[in-house]
Amino acid sequence: MKKPLGAILASAVVTAGWVLGAVPAQAAPTPVGAAMSAAADVTVKNAYNGRCLQAMGAFPGAITRLVDCADTNTAQKWDVAWVYTEAGGYYELRNAASGLCLDADWGSIGGNGTRTQVWDCVASQTNQHWRMKPITNRPATYQVTVETNGRCLEGAMETINANQGKTQLWNCLGSSQVNQHWQIT
């Protein structure tokens, strides 16, 4: 049985405190929701159609899509880690099959429709820094935004009902926009 996100996050915070020693007076800010353990293989499932976020290859630039979930498919598993920075911190989503990070394509990052892909993990690239805002009254469900421009990760409405539907960034449209909600378990 998988642990709920909150339990995983609480465990990661306790472990980090034990490994790092005493917490300074200016403690690391607690992420929205809770922090996840870097070792947690989780699925990132779109709340609109129940399909899983999957890397469509194990090479830099491989696109991500919404695919029928399969427990044994490691391309649908993500290691999620809270990375503390002096500016606050962010989540890194690393694909379990490839070790590459969820990435918003720099070539189109300025507008709606930015494609999502996996790429070599680079700590300084804000297009790989993700924030997770809990959705009220929906356990383990989040709005996932990229630090670069604050746009939401979503299942594109024009392909949302298809297996291998497109994923992209779009302006965040509020709590009723279920194609922008993600269940992380």
pTM value?
A: 0.80
Angle, alpha carbons 136-6-121 (nearest 5°) = 100
Number of compact structural domains in the chain: 1
CATH of the domain at 178: 2.80.10.50
Write down the pLDDT at residue 12.
41
CB distance 179 to 167 below 8 Å: no
Write down the pLDDT at residue 174.
84
22 found inside a domain: no
CB distance 50 to 12 below 8 Å: no
User: DSSP labels for 105-127?
Assistant: -GGGTTSTTEEEEEE---TT-GG
8 found inside a domain: no
Q: What's the average model confidence in pLDDT over 25-50?
A: 64
Q: Is the pLDDT of residue 3 over 60?
A: no
113 found inside a domain: yes
5 found inside a domain: no
Q: Is the pLDDT of residue 111 over 60?
A: yes
Q: What's the rounded Cα separation, in Å, for the pair 87 and 156?
A: 31
Q: Is the pLDDT of residue 39 over 70?
A: no
Q: Is the pLDDT of residue 82 over 80?
A: yes
Write down the pLDDT at residue 40.
72
Q: What's the average model confidence in pLDDT over 34-55?
A: 81
DSSP, res 101? E
Question: Given the DSSP bridges, would you call strands 152-155 and 114-119 parallel, antiparallel or unpaired?
Answer: unpaired
Q: Is the pLDDT of residue 77 over 90?
A: yes
Q: What's the rounded Cα separation, in Å, for the pair 27 and 35?
A: 14
Radius of gyration of the chain (CA): 16
110 found inside a domain: yes
